Structure 1
Amino acid sequence: MLELSLTRLHEGTVLLYALSVLLYFIDFLHNNRKANRIAFWLLAIVWLLQTIFLFLYMVKTGRFPVLTIFEGLYFYAWVLITLSLAINRLLRVDFTVFFTNVLGFIVMAVHTFAPVQMESSVHAQRLVSELLLIHITMAILSYGAFSLAFVFSLLYLIQYDLLKRKKWGKRLVRLGDLSKLEHMSYVLSVIGVPMLLFSVILGLQWAYIKVPDLFWFDPKIIGSFTVLAAYSVYLYLKVRKQVYGKTLALINIASFLVVIINFSLFGTLSKFHFWYT
């Protein structure tokens, strides 16, 4: 009975999240500050409920919940909501919050309504180790940084287009200036790259210990190094070649597409990433 009630509460949280995103969309279209404030507090409630669910799950399982795709998606959504709340309070970039939460809602909806694999808990028990825990947590946090970098790059392109077409108005101001959007995208990419690199190193170390027949051409390994290569090229072009503007934003967006492919497709093809099954 309690588990059923928690399930219904979790579904209610998704509805609250949907309402928050809707109000952010209204604010996006009509510059409605009242809708923005209500959306923020609804999002804060969603974050609080998600945090409680995470804590209860940790108490129930006795570990940090990131060892299966079911758990990883939920933690990823929690990271995105946490970052969006921080941005809303610290940077006051409203449209970044909107686009970040659209992405977060998609992740949370997939997590909530996807069928849970019964054997996931079995795999989780087999994979429990501090090394693996750190590896997965750092990977998800790096994906969170890359997600926000993607959002800032996307907003850059929208702002760039509005300026080019001379579409002046409140929306133009609220998007933030181009230099700030580009700088934030760059900073978040700088944060994400070393975190993902450390995650890959720890993951390979764990696999070397736990997987006797480690296949170095495993799709997940190749995908992770491809993500690192894509963002390394982005950073190289930014720092060494002084590439900036629309071209740099497009490169960042393309790099994030590699992240999505690596997170979803390559994970299902991997021979030893059981937490993706």
Structure 2
Amino acid sequence: MPAKTWIYDAILYIYALSLLFSFSDVATKNRSAKRMGTGLLAFVWLLQTVFIAIRVYEHQYMPVLTMFEALFFYCWMLVTVSFMMNWFLRLDLLVFLINLACFAIMALNFFSDPAVTPISEQWEAKDELVFIHITLAIGSYAAFLVAALLSGMYLFMHRKLKGKQWTAVMTRFPSLDKIEGYTYRAVLIGIPLLILSVVLGMTKVVLEGDMHLLADPKVLSSLFSLAVYAFYLLQRISGKQPGYMLAFWNLAAFTVVVINFSLFNLYSGFHHWIWM
């Protein structure tokens, strides 16, 4: 593992440079800085992809079965999503915030001990059902993170507009209606992914014959997360709540997801993603 630390360092240093250039673009609308930041981010994505390919070659399975691997794959997915958003939606500030959050997660992951326990001793590394279950969950978390960042942008802009405090940074924001619409679409992507992930996880439990695990804290907290997002959707569809309240509900739902991922893994009977 020490021989591979060079790729960790390279990713973090290049990622940091990319964020510096991206911030310059967000703050001053510097197109040259944007091109440089995007180019460095592309190199980060390439190094991430190489790392994943090496793990696949060495271990002969898709590397998502440990906390270290899952968070790395999550960051790779966020970088990929940010590229797509930058290309199709031109949301420079949102792309910067996504990558800032991704950099923090990756730094925490790299500076932690990579010697991690597998998700479960009973689950085979080549189990396709487990692989699909985990990747769907990671995809849903990525969508929910994007939605949460959008809600934060909405609340920030709503407060500034209400107080008539216009700033140059706000020129990089889409309209409130667009932000709310993008949030809604991100949640619509995340919910079915999480539903499918939970269903596959419960299916795996049933196939293993451990029916008592259906009442596992991880299962129950995942169902509660879905219920909170379902409530957000009902409020949004009903049209009875103003946009800022919907943003609050969405941030509350994402908080539940974070607690579900970080806290309930410690008490789960079959999710043992912890560092040694």
Q: TM-score, normalised by structure 1?
A: 0.92
Structure 1 partner of 2:208 = 210
1: distance between equivalents of 2:161 and 2:31? 23
SS of aligned partner of 1:167: coil
CA deviations over 1:73-101 (Å, ceiling 9, x no partner): 00001111111111111100111011101
Structure 2 partner of 1:260 = 258
2: distance between equivalents of 1:125 and 1:11? 32
Matched ranges for 1:1-277 at <5 A = 4-117=2-115, 119-120=117-118, 123=121, 126-210=124-208, 212=210, 214-276=212-274
Q: Which residue identity does 2:63 align to in structure 1? A: P
SS of aligned partner of 2:258: helix
Residues 230/24 of structure 1: CA separation in 2 closer, same or farther (3 Å cut): same
CA deviations over 1:31-52 (Å, ceiling 9, x no partner): 3333222211111110111011
SS of aligned partner of 1:188: helix
Please state how far the C-alpha of 1:119 moved relative to its aligned partner.
Answer: 4.2
1: distance between equivalents of 2:85 and 2:98? 10
Percent sequence identity over aligned pairs: 39
Report runs of 4+ in structure 1 exceeding 4 Å deviation: none
239-248 or 128-137, which deviates more: 239-248
Q: Which residue identity does 1:77 align to in structure 2? A: C
1: distance between equivalents of 2:271 and 2:65? 10
Please state how far the C-alpha of 1:243 moved relative to its aligned partner.
Answer: 2.2
13-22 or 73-82, which deviates more: 13-22
Q: Which residue identity does 2:232 align to in structure 1? A: Y
Residues 66/163 of structure 1: CA separation in 2 closer, same or farther (3 Å cut): same
1: distance between equivalents of 2:119 and 2:203? 23
Give structure 1 stretches of 5+ with no counterpart.
Answer: none
**Aligned residue pairs: how many?**
275
SS of aligned partner of 2:215: coil
RMSD: 2.0
1: distance between equivalents of 2:257 and 2:157? 24
Residues 38/212 of structure 1: CA separation in 2 closer, same or farther (3 Å cut): same
2: distance between equivalents of 1:166 and 1:119? 52
Residues 155/121 of structure 1: CA separation in 2 closer, same or farther (3 Å cut): closer
Q: Which residue identity does 2:135 align to in structure 1? A: T
Conserved in 2, the CA contact under 8 Å of 1:21 and 1:98? Answer: yes
Please state how far the C-alpha of 1:209 moved relative to its aligned partner.
Answer: 1.8
2: distance between equivalents of 1:16 and 1:124? 38
